Structure 1
Amino acid sequence: MKIIDAVLGWFRPDAITTEPQVKRIRLETVDSTNSFLRNYTPAADEPMTVAVAGYQTAGRGQGENTWESEAGKNLLFSVLVHPVMLPVRSQFLLSEAGALALKEALADYVKDGIRLKWPNDVYWKDRKLSGTLIETKLGGGHIKDCIFGVGLNVNQTVFRGDAPNPVSLCQILGHEVDKDELLDKIIRKFSDFYHLLEMGGYNDISAMYHEALYRRGGFHRFRDADGEFDGAIVEVEDDGHLILRDRDGRIRSYQFKEVEFIV
């Protein structure tokens, strides 16, 4: 896989090229990389587009959440793909594939403790290393476009927002990390997992995702609309529902935002 750089006001002008493959667009400042790609029209021979920003003025997390990031310290990027081969009912596989790509790339730096917190956060032990905002555009019973917006804490060491448990690679490792090198690894892993989806490897991706789940074994504390309870993860269904079993043996099914992990 070849990564092609297109530079918009940042980095090397000689990196501009019109070759196909994965196109990476570098932006010095943008409201959000998801918003940029939502309004972007890729070339016909451009199956995957990556927009990476030095700073986002309106970076978003899930729902109404914002994403805190010190300028130039972290990886803020979005990936645009066109997974028309994937039925709408199976779209959560995209979330699984994206989360696995991050986990596998980070494994080159952190050998232990990296897990995937449902639906697609990346955790180191009990602390949040990365979050993803996924947006899809549907058509004809398939997914026309999918944008993965990723905020990954890399070299930031002080977090002043109200997020309860952030951590960065620099804090874990005790030294800064080359962000470009890390991004290259993530894009390549993403391309690998996306190709596996194209080849119909749905069961493989689902199995790897379940194996990597945060709090995969035993009972842990959760909170839903009725209060706190102990639950054990049974599975994550193809449509993204989290299935828990409480201590009374009752099976509980949740969509995103209907249940909270108590960390």
Structure 2
Amino acid sequence: MKIIKLDAIDSTNSFLRQLSTINKVDDFTTVIAKHQTSGKGQMGAAWKVEEGKNLTTSVFKRISCLRNEELFYVSMAVSLAVYDSLKKFLIPDLAIKWPNDILSGDKKICGILIESVVKGRDLEAAIIGIGLNVNQTGFDNLPQASSLKAITGIQYNVDELLQEILVHLQHYALFIEEKEFDVLKVKYEEKLFRKNKPSTFKDKEGRLFMGFIKGVSESGKLILRLEDEVFREFDLKEVRLLY
């Protein structure tokens, strides 16, 4: 496994994507940066961190075995890999907030951004971006954000965390390659934040409504049970779970 360590970069995801257009990139090539100046989150959100205090990394994973409509299984696998890794470090009250944020209690400690590399019409690879809040303890204007150190009081070794995550990524990649999608889906849904609990959501028009998270569809849409036992599926742009 090739690991590229950088002092600073605009975005580890962007670096890996550019690298893949120039050279053949080996499976599980990993880029880690001490400082990321233009980190990206879901739906184009910016992600800013203090230099040297967190894990900002991207992994190149070949996924030509998947069809386009199966891409969300990668998100499931990565979420589970990070979840299991943090379990080994005894981080309490872990959960996966759909689609792939990792929480401790109700605080976000990790965000995941998966970007596809397409050849023609087919999936070729996924660039897996992981931003884990490790030793940073201040998060201005981000009341729902926290870090491993803020939660436990322990100073963590970022390289040790990366190695643990890579081990678990390799483990869950086997589920992708062997198309054991049902197993992945069950494991993922078991760990969903607020599953089967009454929760408040906001739709794209800004309207609030109540519902129960029941799971996800094969394409990754959130399945909610609404009033009168009506079940509906929502994609990421259509609904937001409020804390």
TM superposition score normalised by structure 1: 0.87
Tell me the amino acid that sits aligned with residue 180 of structure 1: D
1:78 and 2:58 are equivalent in the alignment: yes
* Cα drift, residue 238 of structure 1: 1.1
* Cα drift, residue 203 of structure 1: 1.0
Give the total of aligned pairs: 241
- Is residue 214–residue 224 contact of structure 2 (8 Å, CA) maintained in 1? yes
- Is residue 130–residue 150 contact of structure 1 (8 Å, CA) maintained in 2? yes
Tell me the amino acid that sits aligned with residue 167 of structure 2: R
Tell me the amino acid that sits aligned with residue 184 of structure 2: I
1:127 and 2:115 are equivalent in the alignment: no
1:143 and 2:123 are equivalent in the alignment: yes
User: What secondary structure, in the 3-state scheme, does the structure 1 residue paired with 2:19 have?
Assistant: coil
Tell me the amino acid that sits aligned with residue 64 of structure 1: G
Please say which of residues 115-124 and 252-261 is displaced more in the overlay.
252-261
* Residue from 183, 188, 192 that aligns with 1:213: 192
* Cα drift, residue 111 of structure 1: 5.0
* Residue from 32, 36, 43 that aligns with 1:52: 32
Tell me the amino acid that sits aligned with residue 172 of structure 2: F
TM superposition score normalised by structure 2: 0.94
**CA-to-partner distance for each residue in 1:134-186, whole Å, 9 max, x for gaps?**
110223553102111111000001112x3330010001111211111111000
Unmatched tracts of structure 2, length 5 or more: none
User: What secondary structure, in the 3-state scheme, does the structure 2 residue paired with 1:40 have?
Assistant: helix
Distance change >3 Å, CA 173–CA 253, structure 1 → 2: same
Cα distance in 1 for residues equivalent to 2:139 and 2:128: 23
Percent identical pairs in the alignment equals 36
User: What secondary structure, in the 3-state scheme, does the structure 1 residue paired with 2:43 have?
Assistant: coil
Distance change >3 Å, CA 248–CA 108, structure 1 → 2: same
* Residue from 205, 227, 237 that aligns with 1:257: 237
- Is residue 30–residue 57 contact of structure 1 (8 Å, CA) maintained in 2? yes
Runs of 4+ in 1 over 6 A off after TM superposition: none
Highest Rg: 1 or 2?
A: 1
1:27 and 2:6 are equivalent in the alignment: yes
When the two chains are superposed, the root-mean-square deviation of aligned CA atoms in Å is 1.6
Cα distance in 2 for residues equivalent to 1:91 and 1:246: 27
Please say which of residues 174-183 and 106-115 is displaced more in the overlay.
106-115
Cα distance in 2 for residues equivalent to 1:173 and 1:164: 17
Counterparts of 1:189-204 in structure 2, within 5 Å, are 189-204=168-183
Match of 1:10 in 2: none
* Residue from 99, 117, 135 that aligns with 1:155: 135
Unmatched tracts of structure 1, length 5 or more: 1-21
User: What secondary structure, in the 3-state scheme, does the structure 2 residue paired with 1:39 have?
Assistant: helix
Cα distance in 2 for residues equivalent to 1:242 and 1:146: 22
Cα distance in 2 for residues equivalent to 1:131 and 1:79: 14
Counterparts of 1:43-122 in structure 2, within 5 Å, are 46-110=26-90, 112-122=92-102
User: What secondary structure, in the 3-state scheme, does the structure 2 residue paired with 1:248 have?
Assistant: helix
